[in-house]
């Protein structure tokens, strides 16, 4: 695996980060559910024990129930990756190191959230959730605690289906088909006799009849010995990849050779070493900094959403829309357009 261009967090490959909208919704739901459950339990306790006349006792019961319900929610968050709000909005909390639940170490994260919420009435949590997201969609709290919140409806749920090293290797270093080659078998008085041979074969793996003909072992035919003069590639050197033209609705264009990363402020990505960086004007800031990767060769064009905030989609010539899954290479049919946030891009062969 050391030869691969691994993503920053291999255990989270094919996952989708949770956007700010879902994060805020999850927080609101968590507060409402904790409050409602705590109030219901406190009401049962107060009525059953006939404590309604003592306001101080009632307040103590309410706060105690709030603390107990919040503690249960925290345990589920850490040990199961989420609880009821996560089931509703489709989120899970995982460690970036291995894609597993955060475990006991997650209680530090929850304590930090609670302290900020208590000190600022939740305002700091809201601001820091909406702002400060990095290229992987992680907010300040994720980076400090080594965690990530993933969207299991937009990407892979690594808690149920963890990423394997074999999958990463297949995705990042696909096996190239062997190049055909020819062994020239030259007889003592004849012309060279081409014989197909896979490029990964060696002299030792030649068929027995070739070895015998070559005089390499006993039992070869009578007469002048035949010599295996070597291997030569039958396929010509590959031609340079054709150029493709990317045209954006802003009026900008880019001539593409190979792979490019597109966004408002694209930066190098570990999964796409050596890619061109294409910066596109986006006054409305609907594109992410590094929004999408595009790869083109003489066969066709593929695009890959890199976990953008506002998503990407392909608009087919028929008008049908196809949402791009996160971190999955998807082919672009001829005549299609690609949406990046609120921006649009067309891809076509560049003129010679």
Q: Residue 310: which CATH number?
A: 2.60.200.20
The answer to whether residues 159 and 15 belong to one domain is: yes
Total count of domains within the chain: 3
State whether 47 and 119 are in the same domain.
yes
**Mean of the pLDDT values across residues 322-345?**
88
- Region class of 90: left (phi > 0), else alpha (psi between -120 and 50), else beta: left
- Mean pLDDT is lowest, of 117-121, 251-255, 302-306, for 117-121
Q: Do residues 102 and 67 lie in contact, with contact meaning Cβ atoms separated by under 8 Å?
A: no
Q: What's the CA gap between 243 and 260, in Å, rounded?
A: 12
Cβ(210)–Cβ(242) below 8 Å: no
What letter does residue 271 receive in the DSSP assignment?
A: T
Asked if residue 5 is part of any domain, the answer here is no
Whether 238 is in a domain gets the answer no
Do 297 and 199 share a domain, yes or no? no
Per-residue confidence (pLDDT) for residue 271, from 0 to 100: 78
Q: Which residue has the higher pLDDT, 31 or 334?
A: 31
Q: Same domain, yes or no, for 153 and 250? A: no
* Token pair belonging to 37: 């459950």
- In which domain, by residue range, is 136 found? 10-169
26 with 149, same domain: the answer is yes
Q: Is 141 helix (H, G, I), strand (E, B) or coil?
A: helix
Residues 228 and 249 in one domain: no
Final residue of a structural domain among 141, 169, 197:
169
Give SS3 for 249.
coil
pTM (predicted TM-score)? 0.48
Which of 22-26, 158-162, 174-178 shows the lowest mean pLDDT across its residues? 174-178
Residues 6+ apart with CB under 8 A from 18: 26, 91, 137, 149, 150, 151
> For residue 7, is pLDDT > 70?
no
Which one has a higher pLDDT value, 2 or 245? 245
Buried b / exposed e along 242-271 (16+ C-beta atoms within 10 A): eebebebeeeeebebeebbbbbbebeebeb
Same domain, 219 and 258: no
123 and 188 co-located in one domain:
no
Identify the bridge partners of residue 309 per DSSP, sorted by sequence position.
none
* Cβ 325 vs Cβ 155: under 8 Å: yes
Q: Which pLDDT band, with edges at 50, 70 and 90, does 168 fall under?
A: low
Nearest 5°: CA angle at 108, between 139 and 34?
85
């Amino acid at each position: 695996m050391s030869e691969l261009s691994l993503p920053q967090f291999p255990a989270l490959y094919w996952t989708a980060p949770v956007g700010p909208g879902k994060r805020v919704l999850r927080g609101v739901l968590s507060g409402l559910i904790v409050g409602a459950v705590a109030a219901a339990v406190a009401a049962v306790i107060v009525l059953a024990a006939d404590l309604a006349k003592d306001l101080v006792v009632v307040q103590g019961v309410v706060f105690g129930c709030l603390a107990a319900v919040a503690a249960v929610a925290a345990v589920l968050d850490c040990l199961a990756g989420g609880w009821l709000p996560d089931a509703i909005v489709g989120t899970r909390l995982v460690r970036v190191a291995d894609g597993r639940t955060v475990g006991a170490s997650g209680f530090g994260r929850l304590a930090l959230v609670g302290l900020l919420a208590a000190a600022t009435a939740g305002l700091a949590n809201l601001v820091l959730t909406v702002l400060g997201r990095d290229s992987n969609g992680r907010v300040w709290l994720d980076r400090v605690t080594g965690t990530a919140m993933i969207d299991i409806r937009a990407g892979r749920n690594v808690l149920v289906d963890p990423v394997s090293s074999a999958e990463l290797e297949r995705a990042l270093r696909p096996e190239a088909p062997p190049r055909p080659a020819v062994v020239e078998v030259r007889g003592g008085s004849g012309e060279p006799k081409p014989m197909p041979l896979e490029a990964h074969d060696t002299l030792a793996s030649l068929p027995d009849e070739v070895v015998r003909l070559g005089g390499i072992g006993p039992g070869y035919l009578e007469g002048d010995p035949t010599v295996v003069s070597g291997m030569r590639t039958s396929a010509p050197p590959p031609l340079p990849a054709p150029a493709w033209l990317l045209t954006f609705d802003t009026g900008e264009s880019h001539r593409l050779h190979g792979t490019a990363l597109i966004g408002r402020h694209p930066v190098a990505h570990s999964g796409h070493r050596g890619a061109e960086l294409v910066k596109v004007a986006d006054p409305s800031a609907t594109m992410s900094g590094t929004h999408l990767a595009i790869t083109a060769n003489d066969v066709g064009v593929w695009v890959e959403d890199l976990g953008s905030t506002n998503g990407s989609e392909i608009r087919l010539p028929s008008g049908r829309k196809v949402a791009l899954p996160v971190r999955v290479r998807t082919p672009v049919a001829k005549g299609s357009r690609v949406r990046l946030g609120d921006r649009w891009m067309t891809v076509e062969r560049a003129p010679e």
